[in-house]
Structure 1
Amino acid sequence: MIQEKAKKRGRPAQLLQMAELHAFVEFLLGKDPRTELQNQVIDALQAEDFNFGMLSEAQQILVKEALKPYREHLKLQLLFDELSKNPRQTEYEEKFLELYKRYQKDTLDPAETNILKTMCTRYLNFKTQKLEYSDLELYLSQIEKKDAGKKRKAENQRKFEVGGGVLSAYKVKNDDALDTEKFLKRVRADGYLAGKIRQTKIYKKVWAMDLNPKEKTELLFEVLNQLALYGNQGETVKFVDFAIEVAQTKLKQKTDSVAE
């Protein structure tokens, strides 16, 4: 009698719990916008009443693929919830919590998201004694160095943009021949003058009017020009001349008072 070879049986497909699939779909429905893959997964699971075993092999592969980021999300969320309950956190834990809060607001870039996931994995390995705390400290120091470099780069970029904006505002075309020290003195002097103008009663009166900034600026200087024209009829000396004389006397008295 010829004995038939026993057929190799493949591992039975692991049926995913319906509760997890329900929660997974709820999670996906809360996302806006969703990817095409996520929409396909939602349709497939809802069509089979969340019975993973009823899905085709191709659909099961899609669901498993889509579940990976969801499970990563749950892992992050669970660790966040756990660490948030601690009255005191280590620097590593504080950094994780900080990144996770930004993750919730969707303000992390892809590199920062990867750092968050790595921090989570390493922390869980530390809890299961697969890593020493010194390993966490080392990774944290690497993150901090990257953060410092990123901040310096952003700061330099801001300085570059602001500097370019200032040069453009002053209509500097050939900045290679620019006398930097002289130019900065001019900028500071203009800033000082603008600050003093903003403290004047005329400026405050004009700026309180219901006009846009450009109209206010034009009106302010037109008012100053008009004031210079007023004076007694038949006299060449204008009121502005008296104002200048009085102001000079006042400033001289102030200077003399300080000198004493």
Structure 2
Amino acid sequence: MATQAKHSVLVTGGGSGIGLGLAERHHAAGHRVMITGRNAAKLAAVADRLPGVETLANDIGTPEGRQDLADHVRRTMPDLDVLINNAGVQRRVGIASDHAPWPEVQYEIDILFAAPIHLGRLLVPLMLAHGRPGVLVNVTSGGAFFPQAFAPVYSAAKAAMHSYTMTLRHALQATPIRVVELIPPAVATELAGPGQAHGADLDEFCDTVFPLLDGSHPEVGFGFTADPDFTEKRAAEQRAFDTLAARSGVPVHGTPVAREPETA
């Protein structure tokens, strides 16, 4: 993706936190930016502060909400070339203490896991149709690799998203779309609710990772998720994945992959 190109960017969960931080930087770079979220008042406040930023209040925790968002993007931003799947919720409750009704737990899973998969299925064809280079960013977490006992469903959903992102990158490798996994450590945002913010400074995090989200880095970390020990383990996992994927015969963007001969 050329550095000076102007892009059409969609950021889910763009009303606050990491999503807003990345949207602000895309806006400052002169790109067209659309943000979504459930809180219409937050989105309106962002639009007032950042003239030109487009907003859509909707709930991607439901299939209908995701379809409505995709339909809106097709109508209003058909040249979409940057999709940032950032929206998230985090229920801080240990498994032994979690007595919430199942729909509350299911909603957490749906926002963190079902939503980015479904939006990719809905919007990647649009990004492929115009034929220009594009970037799809899935935001996971350090908790995907080191489960957080205080947020077990969140950690598990992010681990699943990490796995899916590796496979999605493989599936789109022959296309102009690059798939990036953004792996934040704890960042001081509103994710876990009032009074729960802790971790890295949000602006420092966004300033550091934003230039790396251009598709040139398959994975982008910060703090401990950018440490050599962490990145070396990730590189070893990627090499193992690449070897197994080459033998699988699974189509890559519609093209069958030749199986390698089995060895004894």
Structure with the bigger percentage of helix: 1
Structure with the bigger percentage of strand: 2
Same fold at TM > 0.5: no
- Larger Rg over CA atoms: 1
TM-score, normalized by length of structure 2?
0.23
